[in-house]
A and B are shown apart, each in its own frame.
Chain A
């Protein structure tokens, strides 16, 4: 029998101090009963002798000092798991939200998980075709990778992530897949967009959704990604599925974390975010990956909106240090109606080299993306130059690069939201663009590939 305490001594922001407690453990789950019989949950953030500092997920509104009752449950936050979680919608703490029955658990897991032993990891090297040229051709995604989308408010990041979820497949294989979707503090419309998209494509039956909307308790968001990964780990590593995890919007998650840190009067790091933000994000992101000897995989695409489109803001900055690359969206391209507006130059996939090449995509893939990058970068420079000096001042070669950059954006990067290009098509498109240049400019491509492909694509229309 758990003891009930009525010894709350202080409530401030999302935090509550309970005194005179005994046998309370760090990170233990807490249940509070309000005067109106409502129950809320929380967890122990710090325990100092007989004083426990508790963080309440649903907010402290309505909790009073004399009559509210506190119970310590002797365990961490757990999530009940079984295959029935597929096709269901939960709230940010993992409680059913769709009016369906409770999950009858096969197992229960602590949502914090445990770190994967680096020795047990398997290196992600299976190319995922997303059907988007700017990703497949230049920033290839592989199974088990974590590749965030750095976006800004008003940019179509949701459409891109939905397109990836819709089109992603591994070449030549039909395997069991699932989508685990975690929404933190997004609006009702955004969440509806995803649910509708999943429903239309039938993906909803292979999906498991955790929704914490903008008007749901903010502190609850701190648990959401952890619950998401508990579900993903179960599906991937116990049921052998290939799981795609979408988390949107990580910025809201970090803000909730900041709120708690501020309430605890911790010494803030950059922009008021706690000094352990990196460690905290890593404990989430690093749960993605592959494990030797297990069939499934977790591929993670977190979405975050950069405040003021600033890549050096702590959230994108620390995310970039943990994830294996990033896809950055550009407001300028979006204005130019390039869709998806992926800003190719600062985007990067760190795992690309292991996922492409002979037997995976095509032998010339690496050389092509190196060359396309270099050429596009030079084209962008030429464009900048032209802004200052006028187009007429460009040399013959600069003009060629100038035109290339334009065509590259409109034909290669830009494609329809429902256009699914195969990686072959993407690579061929790259060649068609590059044949604008004489071979002497294509220094990053091996001679053997120039011999094999250059003449084949020379002069082909785009």
Chain B
């Protein structure tokens, strides 16, 4: 093992000499406390190392041990349910080992070496396999069947494959290839900074339904797509991320708490086991991988956490699953990059961020996608990435926001103004966009309703008209508007309050299926069409504004999923009442 010597310590950055022969991004152990670090710059025999743990008490002359391996994650059964820090150390086991505070130099394997998993082979002796082929399955949790795959770079004939209970280190299969015999276990290791390979990429064509009306109906994200939600503090970024982690119809959720609050992770840890998956009725935790590197944990590990998370997600994608990654917040990741870059005395780009910020952000989001996985069965997997961005003061000209917007296809613009009015989710319907609407149109028409796209368009037009009319009202007052304009205002308000507004903490309102979303929107617009007709026949707008059925429309979102058809029944009431309005 190569051994160097520390010459400089400055916060999370350590410089060591005698390191020639090391490679960029190799993992090292710093000092006899064995702190984990990664080489991020080489100069002669000097190596700059970002250390993933606190460096207090470390000084020159102390040793640095090279491991000659890049920072990697362990992939295999046991990934779901535990909570990891940014470099995949299991926090639950760390607590058992060292207590309530994270002390330094703790080293624990990410996956349990003792636990036995029941392996059911799908291949048999003599089968020809290539990288990515599924050897067999392990029922990891009640919601996740963990597929054991041939590592990407191996191809050959199975000499032996076992069945039964094994640990992740036991050999379950031997594959003979041209370059020798490979002993395969249920675990793979993969360097986090290198994307896992796949055969080919495809455009997303199915929406990732989230149960959030403003997202699914107006700004949908496709499975395999990318989205970002920038917003100032208090605008509800984290609540949106939590809602998506809870309700998105992905098979695996990877939640990365990157430099955010400790209590938020605790919230996830305590709440998710209680929440039931709307489809299977099993606890949501059974499909969730959690990575927590809270704001007070070492900054370099925060930098690594998003890579750790996305590599785990890619691994599940490779099994043919739809996976969604929530990263909260990518700004903290960028700040960690900035801090390390500053300590390296690199020439800064905008706002002190390194010049490679844009490239790193783009690389990260590009790891999302709908892909044809490796393996001979051409299965498809999707990896969607949803990143929260926390721009200073909510200012969208922030370099991290701009770098993100250049690559992501969906933009949920969170606004302070809406949050202050307690309009949640505070996603602006005027500024947000989704570039997937065209890709998803066919699916929505077929699965939800032929006229869904039209309803969506009409509703959006009303909201835009409202914004224009409000300008006029501000100048000349409401009375100056024509009855039809006043109707537009009333209906737009109804769309805002009765459809877009959604209470994440209300037991029914927290999740709305696509079908119910369609029914609700149709009801509100039906009221618009009917009232418009009555208006044209001379009905009084003040009487229409006071119709009783409007309160029922407002409460329609609280109708439970199974009674979603009752919403359609309300349409008849709308017709009856609007027809009965007397002329002005």
Contacts and interface: CB of A to CB of B under 8 A. Distances in A.
Interface string A356-397: 000000000010001001100110000001001100010100
B505 A117 contact: no
A269 B486 CA distance: 48
Given A116-B100, A270-B351, A377-B420, A312 B394 contact: yes
B351 A121 contact: no
Contacts of A388: 474-475
Interface in A87-118: 110, 112-118
Given A326-B234, A377-B421, A287 B296 contact: yes
A286 B294 contact: yes
A84 interface: no
A282 B60 contact: no
A144 B264 CA distance: 13
Contact of A118 (B60, B103, B266, B336): B266
B421 A279 contact: no
A359 to B, nearest CB: 16
Given A346-B420, A370-B422, A443-B554, A48 B8 contact: yes
Nearest to B503: A370
Interface in A258-287: 266-270, 275-276, 278-279, 282-283, 285-287
A460 to B, nearest CB: 24
B339 A286 contact: no
Contact of A325 (B7, B234, B295, B296): B234
Interface in A269-320: 269-270, 275-276, 278-279, 282-283, 285-287, 289, 291-292, 294, 311-314, 317-318, 320
Contacts of B55: 26-27
B95 A119 contact: yes
Contacts of B99: 120
Contacts of A76: 56-57
Contacts of A49: 7-8, 60
Interface in B237-270: 257, 259, 261-263, 265-267, 269-270
A47 B100 contact: no
B37 to A, nearest CB: 14
Interface string B446-466: 000000000000000000000
Contacts of B420: 345-346, 377
Contacts of B100: 116-117, 120, 237, 291-292, 294
Contact of A282 (B266, B296, B419, B474): B296
A78 interface: no
A321 B91 contact: no
Contact of A26 (B9, B257, B497): B9
A286 B262 contact: yes
A103 to B, nearest CB: 23
Q: Which of B7, B296, B551 has the most CB of A within 10 A?
A: B296
A50 interface: yes
B109 interface: no
Contact of B263 (A26, A45, A287, A324): A324
B59 interface: yes
Contacts of B498: 443
Contacts of A353: 505
Contacts of B83: 118-119
A66 interface: no
A291 B299 CA distance: 23
A116 B262 contact: yes
Contacts of B532: none
Contact of B352 (A145, A267, A292): A267
A282 B91 CA distance: 19
B233 A276 contact: no
A400 interface: no
B101 A279 contact: no
B178 interface: no
A116 B101 contact: yes
A123 interface: yes
B60 A443 contact: no
Q: Which of B56, B233, B478, B479 has the most CB of A within 10 A?
A: B233
A338 to B, nearest CB: 18
Interface string B7-28: 1111100010000000000000
B4 to A, nearest CB: 14
A283 B263 contact: no
A385 B474 contact: yes
Nearest to A395: B478
Contacts of A326: 233-234
A17 interface: no
A46 B9 contact: yes
B102 interface: yes
A322 to B, nearest CB: 6
B144 interface: no
A243 B66 CA distance: 45
Contacts of A276: 11, 299, 335, 339, 342
A64 B531 CA distance: 86
Contacts of A110: 56
A42 to B, nearest CB: 15
B61 interface: yes
A366 B505 contact: yes
Contact of A123 (B263, B299, B395, B505): B263
Contact of B338 (A50, A275, A325): A275
A71 to B, nearest CB: 15
Contact of A447 (B103, B392, B555): B555
B165 to A, nearest CB: 28
Contacts of A447: 555
Contact of A24 (B59, B91, B390, B477): B59
A47 B62 CA distance: 12
Nearest to A72: B59
A62 interface: no
B58 interface: yes
B16 to A, nearest CB: 11
A115 B294 contact: yes
A351 B263 contact: yes
A102 B551 CA distance: 69
A122 interface: yes
Interface string B316-355: 0000000000000000100110110010000010011000
A413 interface: no
Nearest to A121: B266
A80 interface: no
Given A282-B296, A289-B262, 9 more contacts: A48-B7, A116-B102, A118-B292, A121-B265, A278-B295, A285-B296, A321-B233, A378-B421, A393-B479
Interface of A: 22-28, 45-50, 76, 110, 112-124, 144-145, 237, 266-270, 275-276, 278-279, 282-283, 285-287, 289, 291-292, 294, 311-314, 317-318, 320-322, 324-326, 345-346, 348, 350-351, 353-354, 366, 370, 373-374, 377-378, 385, 388-389, 393, 395, 398, 440, 443, 446-447
30 contacts: A26-B10, A26-B11, A45-B10, A48-B10, A49-B8, A76-B57, A112-B54, A112-B56, A113-B101, A114-B101, A116-B101, A117-B101, A120-B95, A120-B99, A123-B267, A278-B259, A279-B335, A282-B294, A312-B232, A312-B394, A312-B395, A317-B232, A320-B232, A321-B390, A326-B233, A374-B421, A374-B422, A377-B422, A378-B421, A393-B478
Closest 4 CB pairs between A and B? A312-B393, A282-B295, A286-B296, A27-B56
